[in-house]
Amino acid sequence: MTTPKKLFIKTYGCQMNVYDSERMVEALGGEGYVETKSADDADMILLNTCHIREKAAEKVYSELGRFKDLKAENPNLKIGVAGCVAQAEGEEIMRRQPLVDLVVGPQSYHRLPAMEKAVQQGAKALDTDFPEDDKFDTLTKRAKTKRGPTAFLTVQEGCDKFCAFCVVPYTRGAEVSRPAAQVLKEAQELVDAGVREITLLGQNVNAYHGHEKGLAGLIWALDKIDGLARIRFTTSHPNDMDDALIEAHGTCTKLMPYLHLPVQSGSDAILKAMNRKHTAESYIRLIERIREARPDLLLSGDFIVGFPGETDQDFEDTMNLIREVNYGQAYSFKYSTRPGTPAAERAQVAEALKTERLANLQALLSTQQRAVQETMVGREVRVLFEKTGRQEGQLIGKSEYLHAVYADAPASLIGQVVPVRIIANSPNSLAGQCIQ
């Protein structure tokens, strides 16, 4: 019997990279690999990288440096870099770090089996093309092994918006949507494996056009799958939030009342400089329409502070927008340059000022988040339990509003949607009691 080879994969960044890593594991499974949680005993190490955060490439090189000793101990160890840093810096990675055997971009990882064969023969393998063949057609169907209750499912990739701060159009390419039939088939396979909640992923997911009725049409098609209890989607652009999708939030019971809708800034001058193609006012009016359709919606957003040219008034406009919208969750960052993007060439805001503004903005967002969570105390929510907690007899899951909830419950309830009354609020989770 052939001893399986061990694959260690480390994933950085967004949920789409989590999904991609799962598919890479499956692709290499056909070559005799099984996943291991430790790099120390791996036959192949893959870093699935993200280019969004500051100094992303340098962090990859630092991580690769940690594997030098492993390579020295095991000359047969193969090391690869995948994802958006691989796409942006493929040849440079090979040049700067000779221990790397393969580099593969996010649109080419279906070619990993062939690349693995090449490196086993002593070759170096580099593929950062935007291939004409559809990677999702090439990839085998999802493994039938038992899955956890939740799963990500990529339905759209790339972006045509060209925001001035963002590298995604250059690393992921133009917007491409998977055919609805392909998505529905994979969703059914996930449900057959035990998944109860699916989160649809895309760099600009509500621009999905693989169904004749757009993302709303896909959601309604997924709604018909028996055994699928919940549907979510992320990340969206305000300009692609159409009437049908807004209506789905009010009428599709499987579509959860949580929406991540980044605005980035509350200043029209900064939004224009960012090339966002919407205004603060249009964003606020859109939120009003969505909340009219689903009054209990919990809203999440993204904010960048210290974008080039941001004045004190621009920042105050952002703070005012946050006060008006009232976010249940949000992600906020200091602007950092991305080589090759338009904003990288502009005069930068002083780092100390960015730090000060970010602290003030995050304090406001934290206050809003705590207040929203406090309103949950005493309410009944429906929790999809996902795993056991740290304490014996405790389970952890997510409410329909994506709040983490823990409660005393038997392990037999993992994978079930259970009514729970919230009894306490803590910074990053809620405590509840199952309702019998």
Q: Please report, in range form, the residues annotated as the binding site for [4Fe-4S] cluster.
A: 14, 50, 84, 159, 163, 166
Q: Are 165 and 126 in contact (CB under 8 A)?
A: no
Burial of 76 from C-beta contacts in 10 A (0-12 / 13-18 / 19+) = exposed
Q: Residue 369: helix, strand or coil by DSSP?
A: helix
Instruction: Report the sign of the C-alpha dihedral through residues 403, 406, 411, 413, in that order.
Output: negative
Residue appearing with tokens 């930068």: 348
Question: Which helix (H) or strand (E) segment is 46 a member of?
Answer: strand 44-49
Q: How far apart are CA 400 and CA 257, in angstroms?
A: 6
Residue appearing with tokens 């993302």: 215
Q: Give me the long-range contacts of 369-372 (CB less than 8 A, separation at least 24).
A: 369/327, 369/328, 369/329, 369/330, 370/425, 370/427, 372/298, 372/326, 372/327, 372/328
Sequence ranges of the binding site = 14, 50, 84, 159, 163, 166
Q: How far apart are CA 224 and CA 220, in angstroms?
A: 7
Q: Which residues contact 58 (CB under 8 A, 6 or more apart)?
A: none
**Structure tokens that stand for 411 in this block:** 């392990």
Strand 329-334 to 298-305 pairing: parallel
Q: What is the DSSP code (8-state) at residue 415?
A: T
Q: How far is CA 299 from the centre of its chain?
A: 16
What are the φ and ψ backbone dihedral angles of 317, each rounded to 5 degrees? -60, -40
